[in-house]
Structure formats: structure tokens, C-alpha cells
Amino acid sequence: MQFVYDLLDKHRVMIPLTTRSELSQAGIRDVSVAGRVAMVESSSSSINSFLTGIGSQFEWDVFPIPRARRGGPAPVTYTSGDPNCVNAATPHKDAAWAFAKWLAGAQTQGLFGKTKLAYPALKQAATDPRGYAAPPPEHMNVFGKVFDGKVTRRFFHYNHLKGLQIAREQIDTAFAGEKTVAQAMRDAAREANLIIEWKSKPTFPD
């Protein structure tokens, strides 16, 4: 978070929220598609909008998140998935299960891959050289290499939205200059931990 703060406040290479708001009011919905920024941190779900929005206006590509500093620790990639669930109490179990299997099958996952709306959960669709893995952009294989290094997965708790709001409020105080980034993050962690309830506390990897 300190690295991000320095990009904005010290190095001044990041667009401030006020500028983004002004651009939005001027009709520029996506600053990356409009070519107003050199780089943007995003996910595989943005590929389709980049393809359709940028078109042939300029050349672009994807690359993995870099190290924060030369010789520093390797970056930790963030990933999450959107599962398809079937309610155990449904009176239509067979139909629901058939639909869930169809969503996870080659036809639907292949459609995800060809349109590049999202990274396919089915490996054969994700690595299809005529589908998701096909350029453009040139280095689509970046997304498939996510699990080669350290990966963090989102932890969901029924109060996680409250926790995110706490974090946002604390981060805002840091970016407003009311407290240091380190203090804001400590306060965010302390306050967010207070709203987490455990039936049996899980263990987390290092």
C-alpha cells in the first residue's frame, strides 16, 4: 500500500481520483481504453472490453504484476473464481445439476474462451490455441501462469463487505494525509478483525 501511495503522492505517475472523476464526467469511462494511461492493473475479465474498446487504435499487451522494487520479493498474484452452486433443497435437483454441468462443460467454457469474457475454468478451453490462448493480445499465456508463483485467494466472511468498507475508510485517511499509510493499515486490520466471528478458527498459509 505504501508503494501505491508513493506512486500517487511522491512520484506522481498515477491518475488521482479527482482526475478520473473529471475524465468520467467528460465521457471517458475507461482511461486505459481511451489511451490516457500507460499501464493499468486489471484482470482477465478486462480482456474483452479492451479488445472491443481499443480495436486497432494502438498496440497493447498484458504482462504479470512486477516486483515492487528491484531485487525485492516476488509479487503475490491474486486470483478468485465464481463457482456455480445448486441449492440442496431444490425440487429440481437433476435439472439443476445438468445445468451446472453444462456451464462447466466444453461448449460454455469454449464460448468464454473465444469471447475472452473471463478466464475459462475448463483447462482445455483456457489453453485452446484457437480460443482463449489465441492472440490478441500477444501474451495471453500470462494468465495461465498465475499458479506458477505465490498466489493469494480471497477470504470470504459474511461480514467481509463491512471489512472492505473499514479498509477503504482507513486508506482514505492515509491518502488524505491524516495518518501514515502504515498506521492506516494497522487500524484497518484491527477494526476489521473485530467483526470476524469464528465457529472454529481456520489456519492460513504463510
Q: Give residue 203's pLDDT.
A: 67
| pLDDT surpasses 80 at 114 | yes
| pLDDT for residue 206 is more than 70 | no
Per DSSP, helices labelled H in the chain are 2-9, 17-25, 47-54, 93-104, 106-115, 123-126, 160-175, 181-194
C-alpha torsion 82→73→182→79, nearest 10: 0
Cell output for 144: 495461465
- pLDDT at residue 88 in the model: 92
Give the pLDDT score at 89. Answer: 95
Sorted by where each begins, the domain ranges of the chain are: 41-154, 158-196
**Highest mean predicted confidence (pLDDT) among 35-44, 147-156, 179-188:** 179-188
pLDDT mean over 137-151: 85
Q: What is the pLDDT of residue 36?
A: 93
pLDDT > 70: what percent of the chain? 96
The Cα–Cα gap between 35 and 139 comes to 19
pLDDT per residue as tens digits for the range 28-86: 999 999 999 999 989 899 999 999 999 999 999 999 888 878 898 888 777 777 888 99
